[in-house]
Amino acid sequence: MTKQEAVKRLKESDHAFLLPEKAQEIAGAFNCIAKTYMATDTRSQHKGLTLHGDHKEGDQAEGIDADILARSMCDQLDLKYRSMLGRGSRLYECIAALEKTL
């Protein structure tokens, strides 16, 4: 995966949870490491998290929130980004920082 493809995938992953393989692929494009964890699908909650694939509300899976992945990548690359309250806003701030490296 190229850096441009990784950024595109992050843009498509607003409020999404990425499984370990996809997260590592995205992070690897920038020579970063994705640290995954167990999470619960909370899609019906305000600013909730959606586990894609065959998952439904309440299911659990290992992976990483796209927002957390993007922030981790920016931190590993020592890129500056504005701190935001919402999950989607944080994701797009980090995407903007990553795009500046392309």
Q: What is the DSSP string of 15-32?
A: TEEE-HHHHHHHHHHTT-
pLDDT single digits (tens) 53-87: 788 899 999 999 999 999 999 999 999 999 998 88
What's the number of domains the chain is made of?
1
1 CB-near residues (< 8 Å, 6+ apart): 9, 25, 26, 28, 29
Determine if residue 47 is left, alpha or beta; phi over 0 gives left, psi from -120 to 50 gives alpha, anything else beta.
left
Q: The domain containing residue 16 runs over which residues? A: 3-99
pLDDT single digits (tens) 13-33: 998 889 899 999 999 999 999
> Is 90 exceeded by the pLDDT of residue 46?
no
The per-residue pLDDT for 78 is 98
Of 52 and 73, the structure prediction assigns the larger pLDDT to: 73
Question: Given pLDDT bands bounded at 50, 70 and 90, which one contains residue 94?
Answer: very high
Question: Given pLDDT bands bounded at 50, 70 and 90, which one contains residue 99?
Answer: very high
Cα 79 to Cα 50, 59, 89, distances in angstroms: 27, 33, 16
> Is 80 exceeded by the pLDDT of residue 47?
no
